[in-house]
Every structure is written in structure tokens, then in C-alpha cells.
Chain A
Amino acid sequence: MADFKSSVGMTVTLISFGMMFATLFLGFFLFRFSAPVWPPVEIENLPKLIPFFSTLVMALSSYTYWRMEKGIETRKKFWLATTVLGIMFLVGQWTLWNALAASGIFISNGAVPSMVYAFTWIHAAHIVIGLVLLLWLGHLIFRKPQALTEVRLMNVGKFWHFLGVIWLIMYLMLFVL
């Protein structure tokens, strides 16, 4: 009971970050619905497979995080899985950016590449924060299990799942719809 206080803080933080991403999505929707032709030429060349796999990776990492939270015996295994999947996601983003550059789509090429690059960069920066939090949890799991409280797992979990949801929305917006 005494411990729920910090999750109020995490909830407020997620509202803040959510507003930032919401602003980016607002910009996207304004472009989308005021563009004379959609999809514009640039978007037809966007790689579709890489972000699809990235989405699967993020979804899987949310599942492994949930397993890590719930079980104590399998915790270390699922922590490793979640962290590895998180790193794989970043590697996937890196591959995506390279693939875009290889097909001639650079950030300065107009409105749509601007959005694709800028939004995925900003999301990736927050994934880095998430990974730092995961590494901190790993430190607690392996070295200081008594400091690994339920609330800390829950708070980092909120953040991690939030990043997954934001990615899902971004993926659908930029690459699917």
C-alpha cells in the first residue's frame, strides 16, 4: 500500500510522453488528410518487411516482460529475453534506416521521409531510455533481489508496454495505412 506512490509518478510521466507523441501524430494526420494524393510517391518505396518484424519483436518483448513480472523462478530468463528483444528492435530500426538510405530516401527528401525518420528516431531515443531501465532492473534481479519490488517491476513495465503501443500506432500510421 505504501508503495503505489511511485506508480502515480510513472503514470504522469507516461501522460507527458504520450502528449509528445500525440503531437507528432497530430502533425501526421494533418498532412495525411490535407495531401491531395495519398499515398504520395515516396511512400510506395518504403520497406514494409523490416518494420513488420520490428513490430513482432516489440510485441514479443511485451509478452516476455509480462512473464518476467509474474514468475520468480523464470525471471532471469525472461529478463534476458526482453532485453535482447529490445536490442533487436533497435537493430531493426538501424536496418530500416539503412534500407531507406539505400533506396534513396533521405530525411531531407520531403514531408513524408521527414516524418518517417523523425518519428522513428524519437521513438528509438525513448527505447534507449527503456533499455537503460531494463538494465537497471537486470542489475537488481542479479545483484540485489531484495530491492526488486513489485512496484518497480510494474512501473518499468508500464513504460515498456507504453513504448510498444506507441510503436504499434507509428507502424500502422506510417507503414500500413
Chain B
Amino acid sequence: MFPHTDGVVPPDTYAMLFTMHGTIMIFFAITPILIGAFGNFCIPLMIGARDMIFPTLNMLSFWFSMASGIVLLASLCLPMGAAAGGWTSYPTLSTNIGQPGAGQTMWLISLFLFGISSTMGAVNYITTVITLRAPGMDYFKMPLTIWGIWLTAILNAIFVPVLGAGLLLLTFDRVFGTTFFLAGAAATSGRGDPVLFQHVFWIFGHPEVYILILPAWGITSDLLAFFSRKPAFGYKMTALSLTAITVLSTVVYGHHMYTTQMSPLLTQSFMTLTMLISIPSAIFFANWLGTLWKGSIRFASPMLFSLGVVFVFGLGGLTGLYLASTSIDLYLHDTYFVVGHFHYTMAASVLLGGFAGTYFWFPKMFGRMMDEKLAKLHFWCTMIPLNGIFTGMMIVGYAGMHRRLYNPFVYEFLHKLIPINQFITMSAIAMGFAQFIFLYNFFKTIFGKNIPQASANPWEVGTLEWEIPSPAPHYNFKEIPHVKCGPHEMGNPNLNNGRDFQYQTEELIKA
């Protein structure tokens, strides 16, 4: 490969690599797994329904996302390569002038198809949670996993179409010669505005990052309670905080655009709102700690990963405050500090939350438990290098190393950061190899012989899905359950049936 640069990745290929990395991770890893897979699996089971309310729409949503993925991967085979404008695809780089060739257009089409898929899914999830909850399941008796996924779907429904419109207009610019985002000499006649794209993109983009993390927040909130054998501390406040964050996420998008010469009044407003949104985040984070406090902690693998989420989200969230401040952000914008921040909050938290959910619900999905020893090994071999990568990035970012640069070391002042960069790379390789432990465990458990059958409720928790056999039968529930208490009724000293928890279908025993 790359014979004309002696095997080293050339600059435009590098741009293509980080573009596709961002796009694939967000739209084809986090969204299908956390929202698509966990949403479709957990929602009907945890609210006591037989299926989602619109099964055909659901299937359409899946196949649209498949089509979208095929279009995107196909674009890698084009002679001029795939899109290379960053996952944020700002014009003028993403217009015909910056990116001639079909790769960027196919990226736009792929994401538009994916947006259609997401919107259909969102309609399905929102309507299912509103209309198909089992009798007795009020909103404030739903597991927090459902709160997370439901709020994600609401944000999806409202803001993915905004991206859709922006992508459509950019596609028109590329294909039909419109000038929505072209200005100055680049516009053939009439003036557009490239910064308009940034506004449209980030009106979607900021809610999108909350879309990506809300399911993981919900899963973690539930799992911390389950494995501390205590009710979730401040359950109602957590649900309300997640809702507040959902609402506030709509008005903070400008913090991605502090360097676009917006008026200081605007930047200060966005700064204030962004700092405001940290308050509900801190509330539910404190509730996580309150759940753990004096709990009878069971350090099973889902709990290890959930504790990992607490750690990485704590770090990542705190670094967000630095970036929220306009004056500091003017220095930190587009450095690796930002990359470290969003990978901690988005990639690390969601990844660890996703693994926690996978290990937790695996028996309900497949009827067997994954190997605990391998799971714990996987946790440590992931967690340690993960922190190496992203703390390293925050350090080099703080020192001024910018992102998306082909060769940052043309700048002399960055030369002393080369050892840290090498450390980051080594950590990344180590973390990458650690995932083979998970893959081996996953496939060995599914296809292996002589793996013991899992019981209906191996984790001894009370939400509705654990009252039915493992794996869940096709119809989920023989009879629709009647919900009588909340999802985390555990540790009640007055329980006298040999268990330390109550199923949601049992009458609440007073403490």
C-alpha cells in the first residue's frame, strides 16, 4: 500500500481515515448497538410488552441502516477515495471544491439514509414507551435504562431531521450547483454561508452526543443499583435530571462554535447554558455515588464495567467544564484536549456501558452466562490502556497539539510530546488486542458445547425481564404482568422470602 510514500499513510488518506473513524464509530457502532440493539431488546422486556408497537417500521429502520452502511463502505472503493472532510463535514472542504469525487456525496447519502432509519426507530421507541407499558408501570416505575433510551429517542426524533435537512442542502450544493454553503469566489452567483452549515450541524450535533450517551447513563444507573443491592439513590431526581439534560441539550450547541467569530453575547450565553447543563449531570452522578454508598457491592463483570463508567464519565465530564468556558476553549478548541474529552465521555463511557449491558443481558438473550474470569480480564485489559490513551491525549492537547493534523511535528514545540504520543499508540494497540478476549468469550459462549444453561434470574434482580425464562421466549410474556413496585426494590429488611429483592410484580413490602 502507498508505494509512493514508502508505505506511510499520505495526508489525504489520513483525512479519510479520521473521517471514516468518526462516522463509523458514531453511526455504525454506538447507534446500532446501544440504541438499536439494547433499545429493541430491553424496551419491550422491561416495560412488560410483547413487542415494539410498529414491528414493520422497526424492520424498515434496520434495513435502511444496512443500506446506509453498504453505501458508506462502498465509498471506500471509489478511485478518489471516501469522504475526507471530517465526520463534521464542514463546507467548504466538503463541497465540490474541497472534495471533488463521489466519496463525499456518498457519505452524505449514507448519512441521510441513516437519518431516516434513526427517525423511524425513534418514532417506534417513543410510541412504544408511551403506549405499551404494562398496567401499573407509571413513568416513575420504569427502569432507568428505559428512561435513558426513551429520552434518546425523543432527541433523535427532533434533531436527526435537522441534520437531514443540512445534509440534503449540502448534497444539493454538490450535485445540483446550489449555493447554500458556498460564498465568495466559490459561489457562482448569489451568496451562501459556510458557517450556516456549522449552525445546522451542531443544532443536531450537540443533542447527538447526548443521544449517544443517554442509554449508557440509564444502563449504568440501573446496574449500579442492582449490584449494590440497594434502590437507586434519588431515582426520581435521576430521571428528572436526565430529562433536564435532554431539554437543555437543545440550547448549548454554540459551544462547538466559539471560534467562528460569533458575537460575544452569543458565546457568553452558550457558555452559561453549557455550564448550567453540568448541574443535572452532577446531580445524577452524585446519585450514582449515593447508590454505591454503604451498598453490599457484588463485583461481577457488569458491575466492574459500570464502575468504570462512573470513573471515565467523571473525568470526561469534568474536562467538559474547561471546554465550556469560552476563553479557555479559544486555546483548547481543535486540540487533543477536545478529543480526549469526548472520547472519555462518549467513547469510553458508552463502550464500558455497552459491555456492562452485554455481560448483564447476555443470559436473557442467549440462555447462557459469559465466562466471568475472561470478562474480568477483559475489563482490566480494556480499562487500563483506555485511560492511558485518553489521559495522554488530554495532556498533549493541553500542551497545544492540534487534532486532524497529518504531521503535528512540523511544529518544533511539539517535539517533546513524541514520547507521550508513542505511549498513546501503545495503549491503543493494547486496548485493541484486549477486545479479542471479549470476542472469544462471546462466540465461545454462544457456540460452545457443554455450557451450562442460565437460570431465569442469575443476577437476582427484580425488573420484569428476569421473571421469564432465559433466553426470553419469542412472545416475551405468557401473560402481560401487572406492575406493583419500582425496579430497584432491594435490601428491604422486612423481606422474608429468602431473597433480598422484590420482583416488580410483587406488592411493595413496607420498609
Tell me, yes or no, whether A binds B. yes
Q: Out of B123, B162, B176, which one reaches A12, CB within 8 Å?
A: B123
Q: Does B132 contact A (CB under 8 A)?
A: yes
A8–B157 contact, CB under 8 A? no
Q: How far is the CA of A118 from the CA of B173 in the complex (A)?
A: 10
Q: Does A16 contact B (CB under 8 A)?
A: yes
Q: Does A135 contact B (CB under 8 A)?
A: no
Q: Does B327 contact A (CB under 8 A)?
A: no
Q: Does B404 contact A (CB under 8 A)?
A: no
A5–B178 contact, CB under 8 A? no
The majority secondary structure among interface residues of chain A is helix
B residues near A19, Cβ cutoff 8 Å: 158-159, 161-162
Q: How far is the CA of A111 from the CA of B124 in the complex (A)?
A: 37
A114–B172 contact, CB under 8 A? yes
Q: How far is the CA of A27 from the CA of B169 in the complex (A)?
A: 10
A110–B124 contact, CB under 8 A? no
B193–A30 contact, CB under 8 A? yes
Q: How far is the CA of A89 from the CA of B466 in the complex (A)?
A: 54
A114–B179 contact, CB under 8 A? yes
> Shortest Cβ distance from A117 into chain B, in angstroms?
7
Known: A27-B169, A108-B188. A8 touches B178 (CB 8 A): no
Known: A8-B130, A122-B168. A27 touches B196 (CB 8 A): yes
By size class, the interface of chain A is 35 or more
Q: Out of A16, A108, A110, A113, which one reaches B123, CB within 8 Å?
A: A16
B residues near A17, Cβ cutoff 8 Å: 161
Q: Does A147 contact B (CB under 8 A)?
A: no
B residues near A45, Cβ cutoff 8 Å: none
Known: A5-B131, A118-B172. A111 touches B180 (CB 8 A): yes
Q: Does A84 contact B (CB under 8 A)?
A: no
B84-109 interface (Cβ within 8 A of A): none
Q: Does A74 contact B (CB under 8 A)?
A: no
Chain B residue at minimal CB-CB distance from A17:
B161
B53–A30 contact, CB under 8 A? no
B residues near A20, Cβ cutoff 8 Å: 161-162, 164-165
> Shortest Cβ distance from B157 into chain A, in angstroms?
5
By size class, the interface of chain B is 35 or more
Q: How far is the CA of A16 from the CA of B115 in the complex (A)?
A: 11
Interface string of B183-222 (1 = CB under 8 A from A): 0000111111100100010010000000000000000000
Q: Does A23 contact B (CB under 8 A)?
A: yes
Chain A residue at minimal CB-CB distance from B164:
A20
A2-23 interface (Cβ within 8 A of B): 4-6, 8-9, 12-13, 15-17, 19-23
Q: How far is the CA of A40 from the CA of B191 in the complex (A)?
A: 12
Chain A residue at minimal CB-CB distance from B192:
A111
Among A21, A34, A107, max chain B CB count under 10 A is at A107
Q: Out of A4, A6, A111, A118, which one reaches B190, CB within 8 Å?
A: A111
Known: A12-B127, A12-B157, A122-B168. A5 touches B53 (CB 8 A): yes
Chain A residue at minimal CB-CB distance from B171:
A118
A residues near B124, Cβ cutoff 8 Å: 9
A112–B190 contact, CB under 8 A? yes
B residues near A12, Cβ cutoff 8 Å: 122-123, 126-127, 157
Q: Out of B164, B176, B200, which one reaches A107, CB within 8 Å?
A: B176
Q: Does A109 contact B (CB under 8 A)?
A: yes
Among A8, A22, A27, max chain B CB count under 10 A is at A27
Q: Does B224 contact A (CB under 8 A)?
A: no
Chain B residue at minimal CB-CB distance from A42:
B190
A110–B127 contact, CB under 8 A? no
Chain A residue at minimal CB-CB distance from B173:
A114
> Shortest Cβ distance from A18 into chain B, in angstroms?
8
B179–A111 contact, CB under 8 A? yes
A16–B54 contact, CB under 8 A? no
Interface residues of B (CB under 8 A from A): 53-54, 57, 119, 122-124, 126-127, 130-132, 157-162, 164-166, 168-169, 172, 176-180, 187-193, 196, 200, 203
Interface residues of A (CB under 8 A from B): 4-6, 8-9, 12-13, 15-17, 19-24, 26-27, 30-31, 34, 40, 42, 107-115, 117-118, 122
Query: Lowest 8 A-B CB distances belong to which pairs?
Result: A110-B190, A108-B177, A114-B178, A20-B161, A111-B190, A23-B165, A5-B131, A9-B127
For the A-B complex with A9-B126, A114-B190 known, give 10 more contacts whose Cβ atoms are closer than 8 Å: A6-B127, A9-B57, A9-B123, A16-B158, A20-B165, A22-B162, A108-B188, A113-B178, A114-B172, A114-B180
